[in-house]
Structure 1
Amino acid sequence: MSDIKPKKKFKLFSAILTVICVVFVAEAAAPVAAIGNSQYFWWIFLMITFLLPYGLIASELGTTYEGEGGIYDWVTKAFGHRMGARTAWYYWINFPLWMASLAVICPELIRIVTSQTPNTLVSLLIELVFIWVIVFISFYSVSDSIWILNGAAFIKVFLALLVGCLGIYVAVTQGVANEYTLASLLPSFDMKSLSFISVILFNFLGFEVVCTFAPDMENPKRQIPLAIITGGLVIAAIYIFSAFGIGVAIPTDKISTSSGLIDSIQLMLGNSGGILVAIVAFLFLLTLFGNMVSWSLGVNNTACYAAENGDMPAVFAKRNAKTDMPTGAAVMNGVVASAIVIIAPLLPNEDLFWSFFALNLVMFLLSYIPIFPAFLKLRKIDPDTERPFKVGGGKGFHYLLVTLPIILIVTSLIFIAVPFDFSPETLGEVLPITIGSIICLIVGELIITVKKIKK
C-alpha cells in the first residue's frame, strides 16, 4: 500500500480567498501610486484590456486541463516541450527572485515592529529565516496550509481598506494632497508611467496558480471559474479603493518604491512610529508569508510536473514520499533566494527591493506570453475536449483577447529592462536588470539544450 496520505479538500469560499491571497500583492502598491493621478486611468484600462482577457482564458484552460502542470501543461500541449520548458523555467526562476526581494525588506519591518535596528548579520539572519520558513511550509499540501492563505487574504483586505479609509480621512481633514484635473487624470505616456505599468500587470497575475490546486478542490470545474471571477472583482475593487486613498492623501513625489504600504501609513499619520504603524508593519509581514506560501505551492507544482516530463532538472522532480509534495523545487527556491540575499550587500544598487523585484517581473511576464496564443492553438488542435467553462464570442473577439495582453506584456518588458538613455542614473538602475535578465535567459536555454541532448 502507498504511504501517501489522502489529501483534504477545500471549499469554494476558501478557493475565492486563495485567489485574493495569490493575486492581491500589497507590496506592489507604491510604484503604481508613484505614477500620479493617471494611475486610475491605468488601473481601469488594464482591467479591461488585460485582467478580463486573462481571467477568461485562465478559467477556460484551467477547467479544461486540470492538474498540477498549470501554464506549463497548457503551453506544452499547444506548442511542444521546448516552449513548455522555457515557460516552466521563466515561471520558476521568478519566484526565488521575488522571495529575495521581499526578504530584504523584512529587517526594516522588524525594526518598525520592535523599534530596534538589527545589524547587518542579524538582518541577514532575518532574511534567511523568512526564506526557509516559507520553504518548510511549502513541504505540506495547500489544503493543510489553507488557514495561512485564508488568514493572509483577510489581512490583505483589511490593510487595503485601512489605507483607503485613512487616506480619505486625511484628505477630508487636511485637504487633498494632489491636484485633480482632467489633464492630471489622463496618461502622460512618459517613461516613468510606462515603466510602472508592469507592476499593475503583476498585480493582476496569479489566477493559474489556483488552477494547480484542482486536485485539492471538491469540485474544481465549478470552483475555479467562480473563484477567478468573484476574486477578480473583489481584487479590482480593493486596488482602486486603496489607490484612491493613497492618491488623495499623499503627494506623489513623497511615495517610495520600497515598502510602500508602510510608507503610506506613516505619511498619512505624520510620524514614523507609533502603535498603529507597528501593527500595520506586523500584519504586512504576515501577508508576505501568505503571499509566498500561496505562490510557492503553485510554482513548485509546475516546476515538479515539468521535471517529471523531462523539461526541468531532475532535482525539481523530487517529492516527499508521505505527502507527495514537490520538495525538490521548494529546496531549490530556498537555495537560490538565500544565495541572492547573501550577495546582496555587495551589489551597488541601494534599492535592492526594486532591483530584485524588477528582475522577477521580467522573468514572470515572459512566462505568460505563450499562454494567450496557446488558448487559440488548443481551440484549433483539441476542439473535442470538453470545456466546462468556455469563452464565448467569435474568432475576432478571441484574437482580440489574445493580442491585447501580449502587446501590453511586451511593452512592459521593454520599459523595465531596456535603458533608453545612457545617463549614470539610468544605467545604475536599469542595467543590472538587463544583465540579470540576459543571464536568466541564457541559463534557461542551456538547461533546455542539455535536457534535449540527454533525451
Structure 2
Amino acid sequence: MDTQTSGTAPVLRTADSDLEIRKLRRHFGHFDILFFLLCTLVGLDTIGTVAARGPQAFTWMIVLAIIFFVPSALLCAELGSAFPQEGGPYLWVRLAFGHLVGAVNTFMYWVTNPVWFGGTLTVSAVTAFTTFFRDGRPFGTLGFYLFTLGFVWFGILTAVVSFRIGKWIPVLGGWTRLALLILFTGTVLIYAARHGVHGFGLADFTPGWSGFVALVPVLIFNYVGFELPNSAGDEMVDPRRDVPAAIFRSGVLAVLLYALPVLGVLLVLPTKAVTGLSGFLDAMRQVFSVYGGSTGPDGTVTLTGAGLVLGGICAVLFILTLLSSGVAWLMGTDRALAVSGYDGAAPRAFGVISERLGTPVRVNLLSGLVSTGVLVLAHQLTGGEAAKLFGAVLSLALSTTLLSYLGIFPALHILRRKYPDVPRPYRVRYPRTIGWLLTALIAFATVQLLLPGIGAHWFGPGYAPSGWAPSERWTYLATEAIPLVVFVLIGVAFWFAGAPTRRRS
C-alpha cells in the first residue's frame, strides 16, 4: 500500500482505489453538508429517553455540550479538512493505527446503523403512526411487518440511488426538524398560557451522579456524528472550506434543537409519565389538544378537529425526521465500509462502487438485510413488546457506536505526529488533551451501557437496568456483551479477508 503525502494530505494510491474513486462525482456542497449534519446530529428518537430523567437531564445536556460536543466538533473540523478523502473516519483510524484497528473500528462504526435503523428508528416510526392515526391501537403482525419493512427498504433504496438524488432526503429531513420543533415549541407556549405547566424549581436542575451515569451514554450518542460527511470526502465540492463551516453552524443548531423539545416535554408531562419510546409523542398529543381535543380522567388525550389534523401532520414530520436520520447515517457509514473494502481492511467484494449510480450498492443492500434481520429477530424475542424492543436495540446501538469512537478520537494527536507537514486549514489547540478527554468520556459511557449504574447501583440488591427485572440483569449484560464480542470477531475476519487486497497493493 503506497501512502504518499504529496505536500498535502496522505493519498492512498492503489489500483483498487483508483478503480473505485473514479466512479464518484462531486455533488456535496456546503448547503448539503449542513443539512446532512443536522440529520446526523439531531435524532428525535432519544428525546423521551433523555427527558425521562427529569430537569437534571437539561443540565447534563448543557454540560456535555461544553465538555464533549464542542471539543468533538473542533477535532472533526481539523481532521475533516486536513484528511478529506473518501472514507473519512475509516481513513483517519487506518492512517493512525493500521489496517487491523481500521477494520475492527469501521465494522463497529458501520454495523451500528443497520441495527439502529432496523430497531430503534423503525419502532419509533411505527409507534408514531399508531399513536396518531390508530388511537394507540397496535398493528397486527402482518400490518407491523408491512409498515416496518416498507420503512426500512425505502430508506435503503434512497441510499442506493445516486448521491445527487439521495442527498435530498437529508435536506428534507433538516427542514422537517426545524418545522416540527418550531411548531412543537410554539404550541408548548400556548399550552402553558392556557393550562399551566408542571412546576419545578432550580433545585430540580441540580445535576446528580445517578443522572450523569444514566444520561451520559445517550447524550454522547446524540452528540456524535460530526465526522460522518467526510465518509463522502471525494464527493465534496470543497471539503477544506465547507467542512469546518458546516460543523460549527450545525453544532449550534443541534444543541438548540435538542434542548427546546426536552424542556418542552418536561414542562408538559410529569417526569414519571415520560417513557423512552413515546415520551416526545405523548407530549405532542398533550400540547396539540389546545387546538382541539380533551384529556380523560385517566390522562388519555383524544385529539379532535384542528388538533387531530395538526397532530397528524407532526406525526408525518416525525416519521420523515426518523427516516432522514437513518438514511444520512447509512449513506456515510456504508461508504466508510466500502472504502475499507478496496483498501484491504474488509472483503474486496464490499469495496465496489456502482459505475452508474456512484454508490456502494453492495454494502447498501447488506445494510438492508441486517436491518431486516434485527427487526424480525428483536420483534420475535421481545414478543412484540415495543418498549422492550426499543430499549434493548437502543442500548446495543449506543454501545457499538461509542466503541467505534475509541479509534476515531485518539487519531487526531497520532496524525499530528505522523504527518506534521500536512496542511491544516483549521487547527485545534491542545489536540492531545481534547483527544484523550473525549476518549475517556466514551470509555466511561460504554462501561455504563454494559453495566448501567456500576459504581452506584449495579451490584445492589434488587437493581435492574431500566425496563428489565432484577432477575434479568445478567441476561441484559449478555444481550449487550455477546453481540459486541461477535462484532469484534467479524471485524478481525474482515481484516483477514482483506489480505489479498493488501498484498496486491
TM-score for the superposition, normalised by structure 1: 0.92
* Contact 1:7 1:141 survives alignment (8 Å): no
Following the alignment from structure 1 to structure 2, what is the Cα–Cα distance between the partners of residues 272 and 390? 54
Q: Which residue of 2 aligns with 1:220?
A: 239
Matches within 5 A, 1:158-177: 158-177=179-198
Following the alignment from structure 1 to structure 2, what is the Cα–Cα distance between the partners of residues 288 and 244? 20
* Contact 2:346 2:495 survives alignment (8 Å): no
Matched, 1:65 2:99: no
State the structure with more CA Rg: 2
* Contact 1:168 1:248 survives alignment (8 Å): no
Among 150, 154, 162, the residue aligned to 1:129 = 150
Matches within 5 A, 1:122-271: 122-181=143-202, 183-190=203-210, 193-268=212-287, 269=289, 270=295, 271=301
Following the alignment from structure 1 to structure 2, what is the Cα–Cα distance between the partners of residues 7 and 242? 38
Q: Which residue of 2 aligns with 1:105?
A: 124
Q: Which amino acid aligns with 1:82?
A: L
Following the alignment from structure 1 to structure 2, what is the Cα–Cα distance between the partners of residues 67 and 113? 44
Following the alignment from structure 1 to structure 2, what is the Cα–Cα distance between the partners of residues 403 and 286? 36
Matched, 1:96 2:114: yes
* Contact 2:126 2:147 survives alignment (8 Å): yes
CA deviations over 1:368-400 (Å, ceiling 9, x no partner): 112221111111111011111111x3xxx3333
Deviation at 1:174, TM superposition (A): 2.2
Structure 1, 367-376 or 344-353: larger mean CA deviation: 344-353
Q: Which residue of 2 aligns with 1:412?
A: 445
Following the alignment from structure 1 to structure 2, what is the Cα–Cα distance between the partners of residues 193 and 380? 34
Change in Cα spacing, 1:224 to 1:430, as seen in structure 2 (3 Å) is farther
Q: Which residue of 1 aligns with 2:482?
A: 439
Following the alignment from structure 2 to structure 1, what is the Cα–Cα distance between the partners of residues 117 and 491? 24
Following the alignment from structure 1 to structure 2, what is the Cα–Cα distance between the partners of residues 310 and 5? 19
Q: Which residue of 1 aligns with 2:27?
A: 9
Q: Which residue of 2 aligns with 1:20?
A: 38
Deviation at 1:343, TM superposition (A): 2.0
Deviation at 1:5, TM superposition (A): 6.8
Following the alignment from structure 1 to structure 2, what is the Cα–Cα distance between the partners of residues 11 and 381? 30
Deviation at 1:294, TM superposition (A): 0.9
Deviation at 1:272, TM superposition (A): 4.6
Matched, 1:346 2:380: yes
What SS is found at the alignment partner of 1:136?
Answer: helix
Following the alignment from structure 1 to structure 2, what is the Cα–Cα distance between the partners of residues 58 and 304? 21
Structure 1, 354-363 or 11-20: larger mean CA deviation: 11-20
Deviation at 1:123, TM superposition (A): 0.3
Q: Matched residues, percent identical?
A: 27
What SS is found at the alignment partner of 1:212?
Answer: helix
Structure 1, 401-410 or 17-26: larger mean CA deviation: 401-410
Q: Which residue of 1 aligns with 2:401?
A: 364
Change in Cα spacing, 1:369 to 1:266, as seen in structure 2 (3 Å) is same
Q: Which amino acid aligns with 1:86?
A: V
Deviation at 1:171, TM superposition (A): 2.7
Deviation at 1:139, TM superposition (A): 0.9
Among 417, 421, 424, the residue aligned to 1:387 = 424
Deviation at 1:88, TM superposition (A): 0.4
Change in Cα spacing, 1:272 to 1:310, as seen in structure 2 (3 Å) is farther
* Contact 1:416 1:430 survives alignment (8 Å): no
* Contact 1:156 1:287 survives alignment (8 Å): yes
Change in Cα spacing, 1:142 to 1:436, as seen in structure 2 (3 Å) is farther
Q: Which residue of 2 aligns with 1:277?
A: 311
Following the alignment from structure 1 to structure 2, what is the Cα–Cα distance between the partners of residues 372 and 169? 43
* Contact 2:23 2:355 survives alignment (8 Å): no
CA deviations over 1:201-255 (Å, ceiling 9, x no partner): 1111111111223323321111100000011111112222222222222211111
Deviation at 1:299, TM superposition (A): 0.6
What SS is found at the alignment partner of 1:143?
Answer: helix
CA deviations over 1:313-365 (Å, ceiling 9, x no partner): 34422332312311121111111111122122332473211211111000001
CA deviations over 1:44-97 (Å, ceiling 9, x no partner): 111111011100010111111112212111011111111111210110111111
Change in Cα spacing, 1:171 to 1:9, as seen in structure 2 (3 Å) is same
Q: Which residue of 1 aligns with 2:298?
A: none
Change in Cα spacing, 1:451 to 1:265, as seen in structure 2 (3 Å) is closer
Change in Cα spacing, 1:452 to 1:25, as seen in structure 2 (3 Å) is closer
Following the alignment from structure 1 to structure 2, what is the Cα–Cα distance between the partners of residues 150 and 88? 26
* Contact 1:164 1:246 survives alignment (8 Å): no
Structure 1, 60-69 or 267-276: larger mean CA deviation: 267-276
Q: Which runs of 4+ in 1 moved over 4 A?
A: 2-6, 427-433, 451-454
Following the alignment from structure 1 to structure 2, what is the Cα–Cα distance between the partners of residues 423 and 328? 47
Q: How many corresponding residue pairs? A: 448
Following the alignment from structure 2 to structure 1, what is the Cα–Cα distance between the partners of residues 496 and 237? 41
CA deviations over 1:296-326 (Å, ceiling 9, x no partner): 1101000111122222234422332312311
Matches within 5 A, 1:315-334: 315-334=349-368
CA deviations over 1:167-215 (Å, ceiling 9, x no partner): 233233322313122x21111211x552222111111111111122332
Change in Cα spacing, 1:242 to 1:348, as seen in structure 2 (3 Å) is closer
Structure 1, 410-419 or 355-364: larger mean CA deviation: 410-419
Unmatched runs of 5 consecutive residues or more in structure 1: none
* Contact 2:88 2:232 survives alignment (8 Å): no
Change in Cα spacing, 1:293 to 1:53, as seen in structure 2 (3 Å) is same
* Contact 2:160 2:361 survives alignment (8 Å): yes
* Contact 1:60 1:387 survives alignment (8 Å): yes
* Contact 1:304 1:317 survives alignment (8 Å): yes
Following the alignment from structure 1 to structure 2, what is the Cα–Cα distance between the partners of residues 449 and 18? 31
Q: Which amino acid aligns with 2:178?
A: V
Structure 1, 158-167 or 31-40: larger mean CA deviation: 158-167
Matched, 1:46 2:46: no
